[in-house]
Amino acid sequence: MRQHRVVLLPGDGIGPEITAVARTLLEAVASRHDFTISFEEQPIGGAAIDATGEPLPESTLTACRGADAVLLAAIGSPRFDSLPRQQRPESGLLALRSGMELFANLRPVKIVPALIDASTLRPEVIEGVDLMVVRELTGGIYFGQPKGRVSADGEERGFNTMTYSSGEVDRIAKVAFELAVQRRGQLCSVDKANVLDVSQLWRDRVEAMASSYPAVEVSHMYVDNAAMQLVRAPRQFDVVLTGNLFGDILSDEAAMLTGSIGMLPSASLGSEGPGLFEPVHGSAPDIAGQDKANPMAMVLSAAMMLRTGLGEESAASALEQAVDGVLAGGYRTGDLMAEGCTMLGCRAMGEQLLNHLST
Ligand code: IPM
Ligand code: MG
């Protein structure tokens, strides 16, 4: 019997509620597909600050590094907004990505036909959209030095550094090229090379790699244009390769093509070691603890974990089919609610997903 060890990081806000749903479903698919998963829960973010005083305790990082895969729900709470940056929940997530060397963040955006009317964009614009944002995750302006705040001449100045080395660009570009080969063979690299030196280096390295992938059609786009094209004609994109900050912004924008950010999973991978799987959405403190959250992005992240992190393809498909089945059956959480549908809370949605798992 195959055995997998998964670290669960419920985190903050709606995190514990959606984690409970994902755990139940993972246990159910494991027994149907002849493997076992042992779960270990660890604190991160605000929950870890409350328990230990730090957003990423050493014990959490050690457990994550030693697992076969890590499933994270969400971090963040306004309660900690006034703490120094290093002690806030977000710093725990950044330290986890960096500590596990997860430089590649994959954010697939695929239109679910049953939800086409949930988008604020017109159906004919978003129909058939199927793209993958490949975001660099451990470099760029998020981690660049020097950074900080200084006072001089009666003024305060804040600064960050956007920096990439050729090696950092090459390793993320390679991930994107390999994905493009498996998908529709189109790679659009997004930068700001008309203004930024760091982007010109990025563009040069991507261009240099293109000759090794003759099957991939490479294009380059400035980030402002990419933001526009994503809502104007999103079907033109297959793989979108970009840096940490631009990827953060564009992936939220791309998420809204699907109607709700509550549907989008993501995977963060390094060159070796366990991957980290998490929904793109945040901790939604406004609805936390009210049984209103949409657990589907978390369940789809669990599916990505099964497929990419644990090699359990058929169990991954089973979870994805359960999500499709529930939506086709007209069940919706509040974020997706439409006329004629049945509105469910987080727990009830979890039960419906369980009912829709094929035996
Ligand atoms: C994301 C989030 C994080 C980021 C925050 C919570 C630090 O927005 O995963 O996109 O900026 O990377
Ligand atoms: Mg973000």
- pLDDT of residue 216 exceeding 90: yes
Read off the pLDDT band of 359 (50, 70, 90).
low
> pLDDT band at residue 353, thresholds of 50, 70 and 90?
very high
Residue 58 pLDDT > 80: yes
- The stretch 240-267 carries a mean pLDDT of 92
Q: Which whole number is the average pLDDT over 152-166?
A: 97
Helix %, strand %, coil % of the chain (to 5): 50, 20, 30
Which of 70 and 117 is assigned the larger pLDDT?
70
Q: What sections of the chain are H helices per DSSP?
A: 15-32, 46-52, 58-65, 89-99, 123-126, 166-182, 197-210, 223-232, 244-255, 296-304, 313-328, 346-355
Measured from CB, residues less than 6 Å from any atom of ligand 1 are 76, 90, 93-94, 248
From atom 4 of ligand 1, which residue's Cα is the shortest distance away?
248
Output the pLDDT for position 195: 98
- pLDDT above 90 coverage of the chain, percent: 92
Q: Would you please indicate which residues are annotated as catalytic (active-site) residues?
A: 142, 192, 224, 248, 252
Cβ neighbors of 275 (< 8 A, separation 6 or more) are 69, 70, 102, 267, 268, 269, 305, 308, 309
Residue 64 burial (CB < 10 Å; 0-12/13-18/19+)? buried
Q: Which atom of ligand 1 is nearest to the CA of 278?
A: 9
Q: What's the mean pLDDT in 191-207?
A: 98
Please give the mean pLDDT across all residues of the chain.
96
Residue 138 pLDDT greater than 90, yes or no: yes
Which residue's CA lies nearest to atom 10 of ligand 1?
248
Residues forming beta bridges with residue 222, ordered by sequence position: 191
User: What is the distance between the alpha carbons of residues 252 and 107, in angstroms, rounded to a whole number?
Assistant: 10
Q: What is the pLDDT of residues 222-248, one digit of tens each?
A: 999 999 999 999 999 999 999 999 999
Q: Which two tokens stand for residue 341?
A: 């549908």
The three-point CA angle 179-184-187 to 5° equals: 60
Looking from the CA of residue 137, the nearest atom of ligand 1 is 12
What's the mean pLDDT in 172-198? Answer: 98
Q: Where are the domains of the chain?
A: 1-100+274-359, 113-259
Q: Where are the beta strands (DSSP E) in 64-129?
A: 69-74, 104-110
For 40, counting Cβ atoms within 10 Å of its Cβ (0-12 exposed, 13-18 middle, 19+ buried), the class is middle
**What number does the ligand 1 atom closest to the CA of 252 have?**
10
Residue 112 has a pLDDT of: 87
Task: Enumerate the β-bridge partners of residue 186.
Answer: 217
Average pLDDT over residues 96-107: 97
Task: Provide mean pLDDT across the span 160-185.
Answer: 98
Nearest ligand for residue 137 CA = 1
Other CB atoms within a 10 A radius of the CB of residue 148 amount to 10
Q: Which CATH number fits domain 1-100+274-359: 3.30.70.120, 3.40.718.10, 3.50.50.60, 3.30.930.10?
A: 3.40.718.10
Work out the burial of residue 270: count CB atoms within 10 Å of its CB; fewer than 13 is exposed, 13-18 middle, 19 or more buried. Answer: middle
The CATH number corresponding to 113-259 among 3.40.718.10, 2.40.110.10, 3.40.190.10, 3.60.15.10 equals 3.40.718.10
Per-residue tokens: 214: 């003759």
